Structure 1
Amino acid sequence: MSCENNNPVVGIIMGSESDMPAMEPCMKQLDEFGIPYEVKVASAHRKPAEVHEWASTAHERGIRVIVAAAGKAAHLGGVVAAYTPNPVITVPMKTSDLGGLDSLLSMVQMPSGVPVACVAINGAKNAAILAVQILGTGCDTARQKIIDFKQGMAEA
């Protein structure tokens, strides 16, 4: 994997523009690591063809890891995972109805053969860190960013 370029290697998709503020910590963390990413807003329910097109071509665009954020039924991450060979990290969004528990339970109950990783409710920053850890399995530069990050936390 080429990790020394400016092309996006992380794809961030969310079901609604209203998820953007909760996902800003993900983007900020990726910026701090110097990891290029792309952002897409498309609902699995309202724009399924757009989600299919984005997810099924992600690896061709150089995306190596996908972060998918959604609330309520929270099917976006699973739908994306069905269309890509890339690892998918899901971020359950906090909801007004059930506080995000509905989103979390939807994400962790994926059928066999279509796995997703799942972080905490509104855990966007951890999703970014996990994405870079995954990238680090094939990229010494990304791995070193995580080593330095964890060392910085230990020294704080």
Structure 2
Amino acid sequence: MQKTSLIETLQTIPWFLDLKPQQIEALADISSIVHCKEGTAIFCEGDRVDNVYIILSGEIGVDITIPTRGVVRIATAEPLDIIGWSKLTPVVRQRTASTIAIKDSTLLVLNGDALNRLCEDDPRLGYIIMRRIANVVASNLLTIKLQMMDIILQSSNETGLTTR
């Protein structure tokens, strides 16, 4: 994809509305667009962390493996959602979930190492990106907490335990 098209795509993403033209250009330099057919795995739990993805169209399932439960869908990412955000956290070295295209999807792929460098070199850009990531993480944690509570409730009902 041409840089001009990437810039136009980046300018349509609300995440980047506060960025200056040169910051958008820098993001375009480290970005690409990929198309995934339904059923395509984007990344798998345990994989090395590499890229950050923004869903442009389609739906992506986000799954984790829970002992005694198997694979559990914890989220469905839709247009403008971000997956692979853990690349921007220094502690995480491998994927903590698996993702699969539920529908044919188009993703903006940001090279994670290059994005980290951009954020370090341009503190304003880094602040904007990390503020957005913090919101994603907080939202994901709430969703996962609710799902885990539901799984615990289901387990207690299956075993005949009562809850207070």
Q: TM-score range by the shorter chain?
A: under 0.3
| Larger strand share, 1 or 2 | 2
TM-score, with normalisation over the residues of structure 1? 0.25
| Larger helix share, 1 or 2 | 1
TM-score, with normalisation over the residues of structure 2? 0.24
Q: Greater Rg, structure 1 or structure 2? A: 2
